[in-house]
Chains A and B, each alone.
Chain A
């Protein structure tokens, strides 16, 4: 029983954390949260199922194509919904434009892919065990992304440029960094991470269009609680969320679990609007 809660909770938590990182990577590059973060996760699952299960491609090819789909949506998000409204950040138009894009992708998927949950293929043909691939795949993906991002940010030039942009856009531009290309690259990276989340969690969440709004919400909880742009915070908060949700599922049953998660989310957020690990920012007049 406890083993089931822990394995499912951690696996789901890793998916939430990955979506949280997707939010963060976009945010770092543009100071913008995008409603397409969860949509990317949904798309990763649907594309994986489409390429591997329906079109019969090899797992590796399907995986790369699903990530490519995520990258594409990431770039489209940047071009269509973010870049045009960055000039007037204080009007918060990005909330509307990214919402519109997320709705479009979701409705398109609902109509072309169907509104039923469809199976996601088993990626490795190995026998099911207690600690199955549907649990360890999301964890592996999450660990991989964390390590990968650390290496990228610490040890590569482009990674340091990302950090510089996140730290201070104006200063970075003054240094001659190609801000626009870096932002585009960040969105592409975020797209890949989001799609990876959906792909790795495909067996658990199935290829289902309704996963989009669900992940958009639950994926934002780690961002809000872990602090904006704080990937480590997002992972810790994501894992806690997954465990909390599965425990609540078990203790109080399905309907009340989501009520419990939301209530905790609201209370924590109202008490600490900057997140559990974040610091208050002074407003400029």
Chain B
């Protein structure tokens, strides 16, 4: 099944329609409603579209295998259109209207910041992949879990790479003006300083600005030895890469994972500009130095291929992340049922759930499940089938 964004939308609609029409026919037991709040349209939708392919596949597989104790998972999707207002409406509908057992997402931090406190009030277990640190808090949001790295982990990996592998001490940190971008710059610049680096440039720039040359010239004249961009906007990132290329400035670019996305690649003026660009990625979905994927991941890739899921315009880690989320919840429901407290109790003790994206472990006082060591940097121009080679300097 090859999904484009529009088909994804239609299928989301179809799921809703099917759920209301065909309910009695599905199984002897009622289906288990699970909610999903991705951004499938709007300006920050590429992540949501990628993750959506994984989630849809996992739910299909679980249901094809007989569901949870004979009960089908019914995935109820509400497109947030990258708009926090719609995300709040969607969260209310899923929890209060559809009475879902669990909510996946939102997948963008701006929406999660609004939705997480709301879901906490309705006692609905939630799993989201948003990186902003404040988005898990076992005290305030005891039912909210993150099966992805935190900003802290992402930034640490990038900073470590710049300082320890590339041995650069003067760093320029730049972002667009979105919530994610500004939060990242604010968090990472002090981290760099704490490790002894000199942040010679720090700025938030409007992503629509057609000309970033003044910014890069400022970085250059400040003596920057590495550029660390934090943005999910492919247009913005490609302008940084292109400007560096036009200036003939030989400086590494280390930062956000979107630096390596196909959309960024499409916007490059010359393919060779993509050299020396090191985006974040995740070891389990990267090619090891021999060009091999791990067994678990190559088996997953085969499944994707047989399900005819398009890899050309997205990244493997998004699909893997999406794929892991329903499986993890399915695992919990098989073991302890669908009661919220039971699910949360199970997740609180989860140890090393074997995800394609990474092994997830939670504890009652730690709802950030992703292991530090799996966050790595990769070579952007090695993109193949949505996955990358590890950046130079990582061991196998």
Which residue numbers of A lie inside 8 Å of B, CB to CB? 1, 4-5, 8, 12, 110-111, 114-119, 122, 128, 204-206, 208, 210-211, 214, 246, 249-250, 253-255, 257-258
The distance from the CB of B253 to the nearest CB of chain A, in whole angstroms, is 19
Q: Check if B217 sits within 8 Å of A1, measured CB to CB.
A: yes
A-facing residues in B181-207 (Cβ within 8 Å): 203-206
Q: Check if A253 sits within 8 Å of B203, measured CB to CB.
A: yes
Q: Check if B214 sits within 8 Å of A117, measured CB to CB.
A: no
Q: CA separation between A258 and B45, bound complex, in Å? A: 26
Q: CA separation between A114 and B46, bound complex, in Å? A: 10
The distance from the CB of A262 to the nearest CB of chain B, in whole angstroms, is 13
Q: CA separation between A117 and B210, bound complex, in Å? A: 11
A-B contact count (CB 8 A): 72
Q: Check if B267 sits within 8 Å of A119, measured CB to CB.
A: yes
A-B contact list, 29 entries, CB within 8 Å: A1-B217, A4-B213, A4-B214, A4-B217, A8-B210, A12-B211, A115-B42, A115-B43, A116-B263, A117-B233, A118-B266, A119-B267, A128-B269, A204-B210, A206-B267, A210-B43, A214-B208, A249-B209, A250-B218, A253-B203, A253-B204, A254-B177, A254-B204, A254-B206, A254-B215, A255-B177, A255-B204, A255-B206, A257-B206
Q: CA separation between A258 and B46, bound complex, in Å? A: 27
Give chain B residues whose Cβ lies under 8 Å from the Cβ of A204: 210-211
Q: Check if B267 sits within 8 Å of A246, measured CB to CB.
A: no
Q: Check if B246 sits within 8 Å of A128, measured CB to CB.
A: yes
Q: Check if B206 sits within 8 Å of A4, measured CB to CB.
A: no
Q: Check if A258 sits within 8 Å of B263, measured CB to CB.
A: no
Give chain A residues whose Cβ lies under 8 Å from the Cβ of B266: 118-119
The distance from the CB of B2 to the nearest CB of chain A, in whole angstroms, is 17
Q: Check if B214 sits within 8 Å of A5, measured CB to CB.
A: yes
A-facing residues in B207-236 (Cβ within 8 Å): 208-211, 213-215, 217-218, 233-235
Q: Check if A114 sits within 8 Å of B235, measured CB to CB.
A: no
Q: CA separation between A116 and B5, bound complex, in Å? A: 12
Q: Check if B234 sits within 8 Å of A116, measured CB to CB.
A: yes
Give chain A residues whose Cβ lies under 8 Å from the Cβ of B269: 122, 128
Contact flag A116-B209 (CB < 8 Å), given A111-B41, A206-B267: no
The distance from the CB of A135 to the nearest CB of chain B, in whole angstroms, is 10
Give chain B residues whose Cβ lies under 8 Å from the Cβ of A111: 41
Q: CA separation between A253 and B212, bound complex, in Å? A: 10
Q: CA separation between A117 and B261, bound complex, in Å? A: 13
The distance from the CB of B233 to the nearest CB of chain A, in whole angstroms, is 8
The distance from the CB of B383 to the nearest CB of chain A, in whole angstroms, is 16
Q: Check if A117 sits within 8 Å of B213, measured CB to CB.
A: no
Q: CA separation between A3 and B234, bound complex, in Å? A: 26
Give chain B residues whose Cβ lies under 8 Å from the Cβ of A258: 206
**B81 and chain A: residue at smallest CB distance:** A115
Contact flag A115-B41 (CB < 8 Å), given A254-B209, A255-B177, A258-B206: yes
Among candidates A117, A249, A250, A257, residue contacting B234 with C-beta atoms closer than 8 Å: A117
Give chain B residues whose Cβ lies under 8 Å from the Cβ of A122: 269
The distance from the CB of B273 to the nearest CB of chain A, in whole angstroms, is 11
Contact flag A205-B210 (CB < 8 Å), given A118-B267, A128-B246: yes
The distance from the CB of A253 to the nearest CB of chain B, in whole angstroms, is 6
**B267 and chain A: residue at smallest CB distance:** A119
Q: Check if A249 sits within 8 Å of B267, measured CB to CB.
A: no
B100-139: contact bitstring with A at CB < 8 Å (1 yes, 0 no)? Answer: 0000000000000000000000000000000000000000
Q: CA separation between A250 and B5, bound complex, in Å? A: 37
Q: CA separation between A117 and B43, bound complex, in Å? A: 9
Q: Check if A206 sits within 8 Å of B177, measured CB to CB.
A: no
- Which of B41, B203, B213, B233 has the most chain A CB atoms closer than 10 A to its own CB? B213
Q: Check if B177 sits within 8 Å of A117, measured CB to CB.
A: no
Give chain A residues whose Cβ lies under 8 Å from the Cβ of B235: 116-117, 206, 208
The distance from the CB of A50 to the nearest CB of chain B, in whole angstroms, is 14
A-facing residues in B23-37 (Cβ within 8 Å): none
Give chain B residues whose Cβ lies under 8 Å from the Cβ of A255: 177, 204-206
Give chain A residues whose Cβ lies under 8 Å from the Cβ of B214: 1, 4-5, 246, 249-250
- Which of B209, B246, B266 has the most chain A CB atoms closer than 10 A to its own CB? B209
The distance from the CB of B214 to the nearest CB of chain A, in whole angstroms, is 4
Give chain B residues whose Cβ lies under 8 Å from the Cβ of A4: 211, 213-214, 217
Q: CA separation between A254 and B269, bound complex, in Å? A: 23
Q: Known pairs A116-B263, A119-B267, A254-B177. 9 more at Cβ < 8 A?
A: A4-B214, A4-B217, A115-B82, A116-B43, A117-B233, A117-B234, A119-B266, A254-B203, A254-B209
The distance from the CB of B235 to the nearest CB of chain A, in whole angstroms, is 3
Give chain A residues whose Cβ lies under 8 Å from the Cβ of B41: 110-111, 115
The distance from the CB of A118 to the nearest CB of chain B, in whole angstroms, is 7
Q: CA separation between A119 and B264, bound complex, in Å? A: 9
The distance from the CB of B45 to the nearest CB of chain A, in whole angstroms, is 7
Q: CA separation between A118 and B42, bound complex, in Å? A: 14
Contact flag A8-B211 (CB < 8 Å), given A115-B42, A115-B43, A117-B234: yes
Q: CA separation between A249 and B46, bound complex, in Å? A: 29
Among candidates A5, A115, A211, residue contacting B45 with C-beta atoms closer than 8 Å: A115
**B45 and chain A: residue at smallest CB distance:** A115
Q: CA separation between A12 and B5, bound complex, in Å? A: 33
**B243 and chain A: residue at smallest CB distance:** A4
The distance from the CB of A66 to the nearest CB of chain B, in whole angstroms, is 19
Give chain A residues whose Cβ lies under 8 Å from the Cβ of B206: 254-255, 257-258
Q: CA separation between A249 and B218, bound complex, in Å? A: 12
Q: Check if B211 sits within 8 Å of A210, measured CB to CB.
A: no
Give chain B residues whose Cβ lies under 8 Å from the Cβ of A8: 210-211, 213
A-facing residues in B247-281 (Cβ within 8 Å): 263, 266-267, 269
**B210 and chain A: residue at smallest CB distance:** A204
Q: CA separation between A159 and B380, bound complex, in Å? A: 55
Q: CA separation between A241 and B263, bound complex, in Å? A: 31
